[in-house]
Structure 1
Amino acid sequence: MTCELCELAAEPIWRNDRLSVILVDDAAYPGFCRVIWNDHVKEMTDLAPSDRLLLTDAVWHVELALRDVMKPDKINVASLGNMTPHLHWHVIARYADDAHFPNPVWTVAVRTTEESTLAERRALLPKLAADIARRMEKSA
């Protein structure tokens, strides 16, 4: 059985021997990030306390970068793993005009965001990636 998170679909914007941070390719959600534990682990409680702290610290740094660079109305942080039982966190910039707001991004869309607005947000992705990498290197 293959695991899409063991075989990263996207090039990480930051990676070390324990975890990876990727930008999810989602046209409707520029800046959608995933913090992935590199080893195939199912639950947070499977981690040693020091590893758990490392992972939550990474999620915190990604959230800070999203807030600073993308200026969202809200950040959603989720760890589901129902479809892919490999420990990972979704860190998602949310805006009042996004397709699903105020509902989770996995529900039925209630609107379409203007393409010009999405393009402006996509233009920030290189800055976001650099900011995440800088924060992660500093904390490593």
Structure 2
Amino acid sequence: MNTTAISTPDTSCPLCQDKNEHVLWRNDRLRVILIDGTDFPGYTRVIWNKHVAEMTQLSAPARSEVMGIVWRVEQSQRDAMRPDKINLAQLGNQVAHLHWHIIPRWRDDTHFPESIWASAATRSDAQRRAWDARQGEIIDALPAYCALLKESLDSMLTPAR
């Protein structure tokens, strides 16, 4: 039987803590944070607040809520930043706490077409300069993305329990 797990925070888990996070939106079950300081502007995480490791530890309505928020993040990224692709990942191998990575990608970013966790792709000086310029434009779009995402998430009607 799959029920929403009730657990106490794990003091060794970095995702049980919400210190020094750029929180874009939260409710009592989860939070949405912007990952600052990466080469991947707009990189966002959706984090379940209670310490559970797997989606199947949540009730069906809670799983639907998580995925609904992941999809709203993706749509907001597409609308505000116009990436070439969006990567969704729910790994948890390093930190066994339920969270989703929503990562906008561009064909000329430092790692494309590989995962952001792979080694950076070999790029010419001209390609690096082009990415630097484009990255600046994407960073300029972040406030619009954050506002659009907040509006989208605030409009959600039925919270899961």
TM-score between the two structures when normalised by the length of structure 2: 0.83
Q: Structure 1 residue 5 and structure 2 residue 22: aligned?
A: no
Matched with 1:41 is 52
Structure 1: which 4+ aligned runs deviate by more than 4 Å?
none
Given that 1:26 and 1:32 are in contact with CA atoms closer than 8 Å, whether structure 2 keeps it comes out as no
Matched with 1:109 is 120
- AA of the residue aligned to 2:14: E
SS of 1:20's partner is: strand
**Structure of larger gyration radius:** 2
Matched with 2:148 is 131
SS of 1:63's partner is: helix
**Map 1:22-101 → 2, pairs under 5 A:** 22-101=33-112
The partner residue of 1:21 within 25, 28, 32 is 32
2-side partners of 1:117 and 1:27: how far apart? 15
2-side partners of 1:128 and 1:87: how far apart? 24
Given that 2:84 and 2:106 are in contact with CA atoms closer than 8 Å, whether structure 1 keeps it comes out as yes
2-side partners of 1:60 and 1:74: how far apart? 14
What percent of counterpart residues are identical?
A: 44
1-side partners of 2:133 and 2:85: how far apart? 20
1-side partners of 2:110 and 2:131: how far apart? 10
Given that 1:30 and 1:125 are in contact with CA atoms closer than 8 Å, whether structure 2 keeps it comes out as yes
SS of 1:104's partner is: coil
2-side partners of 1:103 and 1:116: how far apart? 21
- The Cα RMSD (Å) is 1.2
Matched with 2:4 is none
Unaligned regions of 5+ residues in structure 1, if any?
A: none
Residues matched between the structures, number: 140
